[in-house]
Amino acid sequence: MIARRIARRPAEWKTIRNEFKHRWLIPFRAFEWMFEWAAYGLSRWSFLEVLEYLSSLSVLVGVILYFSESGDRIKQRHYQAWQVINTAQGKGGSGGRIEALQELNADKVALVGVDASASFLQGIHLERANLVRSDFSAADLRGSAFQYADLAFGDLHSANLRGADLVHADFSNANLSDTDLVGSNLAGARLDNADLSSADLRKANLNAISWRQIASIKSANIAGIRNAPQGFREWALKNGAMEDLAPGD
């Protein structure tokens, strides 16, 4: 709300001049007196009041337009992120995909079928992401975070997931053959119908994994696995897994 104040009418010059004992101060007071009259005149000018209202109105209009166009800005941001991801398909390196994928996931955009094969995505965070049928084959995902992510039917063969946080991730029907899972945290992960043939599971945390319906674990290395469910180790060895703790590991 605009609070407009009308300036007080200045005193007559004769009255002001008679108040001064020192004549050398009169020019300075005269200068101030002229500005008092200017302020008095302008305070009574309605045009300035209209300008003040218009200024406030323009701010209000700007705020309304900003929020009304927020949806378009979000769509534009998502479009640019998908451009980065799609342009970099089949190429090595990150190519800006880490930031693009994380941004889309933060906005709860489904990443179904995304192709990030052979990419460098070390340390990426895609918690609770919808990555059904995604392709991360041969990707460098060391130290990444996929807690509660849905990777069902995904292709992660030959991917490097060393030290990754995969707590409660869904790998149902996923291809994890020849995947490096050394030291990863698979606690609570779903592995129904997953292909773990030749996977490296050394020192992986397998606490409470869903394992009884694993499609294949042939030639997988389970040396040093931690917190494995009761019966898992025996079942894995019976079905072709091995325990080969490499020197220094």
The CATH number given to whatever domain includes residue 186 is 2.160.20.80
Domain hosting residue 54, numbered range: 13-68
pLDDT of residue 13: 65
Is position 4 within any domain?
A: no
| 31, 71, 149, 157, 233 from 134: Cα distances, Å | 78, 27, 11, 12, 29
- The whole-angstrom separation of Cα 160 and Cα 140 is 5
Tell me, yes or no, whether 82 lies in a domain.
no
Is residue 32 one of the residues assigned to a domain? yes
**Residue 165 shares a structural domain with residue 107:** yes
Give residue-wise pLDDT tens across range 155-193: 999 999 999 999 999 999 999 999 999 999 999 999 999
Same domain, 171 and 243: yes
Identity of residue 120? F
In-domain check, residue 184: yes
**107 lies in some domain:** yes
Interatomic CA distance for residues 125 and 144, integer angstroms: 6
For 172-181, what is each residue's pLDDT tens digit? 999 999 999 9
Tell me how many domains the chain contains.
2
pLDDT at 93: 66
Residue-wise pLDDT for 2-34, tens only, equals: 455 556 766 676 666 666 666 666 676 676 767
pTM over 0.85: no
> Are residues 104 and 56 part of one domain?
no
Answer whether residue 151 is part of any domain: yes
- Same domain, yes or no, for 240 and 118? yes
Beta-bridge partners for 221: 200, 242
Residue pair 226/247 in contact (Cβ under 8 Å)? The answer is no
Neighbouring CB atoms inside 10 A of 150's CB total 22
For residues 101 and 143, what is the distance between their CA atoms, to the nearest angstrom? 16
One domain for residues 144 and 241 = yes
